[in-house]
Homo-oligomer: A and B are copies of this chain.
Amino acid sequence: MTASRFRLVVHMVSSLDGHIAKSDNSVSWFDTTDFYEKGIELTVQDTAQFLQTIDCYIMGARTYEQALELSKSYGWAYGDVPTIVMTRRQLPVERQNVELYSGDPEMLVNDILKTKYNTVWVVGGALLTKDFIRLKLVDEIRLTILPVILGDGLPFLDQLKQELPLHLKDVKAYKSGMVELCYEIRK
């Protein structure tokens, strides 16, 4: 494994107006009832195969707490993939593959992640994501846009205060009306 193969990927799901959460934190808007005739449809195998390319997840404390809460109804969403929760709080850890990390993001990426993994995904929240982008640690941004305008809520990537040229790498539209945009941050 060489360092050059390493990719840190930011993944976000947003409404068309760029919100990643509603003010009341409800998640029912994720279940869109749209149907896009020309869209593609992933089989369970496609999804499983794709998820196998992810070697590690990074998330903030609130995203972790939300994932724990959701796991009571739907199971733990991140499987057995090593998952690092960036927090200074002592949060409950119930799974062997979950680890709390209270240190520096640059040290985490350069000294730990790059030596162990190829593909690492940052899956939220918004502040953590922006920190990683500002520190120039991110190679790719994947944005999934759902067919809805929320009109209010938590914005993604607001006030980044940095201009970054991107390279469009891939666009996929799904039968559900979801659009996935994949960009590389040009260095």
Contact = CB atoms under 8 A, between A and B. Distances in A.
B33 A157 contact: no
Contacts of A166: 16, 34, 147-149, 177
A33 B29 CA distance: 35
A40 B67 CA distance: 39
Interface in A25-55: 29, 32-36, 38-39
Given A16-B157, A143-B16, A168-B34, A162 B149 contact: yes
**Size bracket of the A interface:** 35 or more
Interface of A: 16-18, 29, 32-36, 38-39, 133, 141, 143, 145, 147-152, 155-171, 173, 177, 179, 181, 183
25 contacts: A16-B143, A16-B166, A17-B18, A17-B160, A18-B18, A18-B155, A18-B158, A35-B167, A38-B171, A145-B181, A147-B167, A147-B168, A147-B183, A148-B163, A148-B165, A149-B157, A149-B164, A150-B163, A151-B159, A151-B164, A152-B161, A168-B173, A168-B177, A168-B179, A171-B179
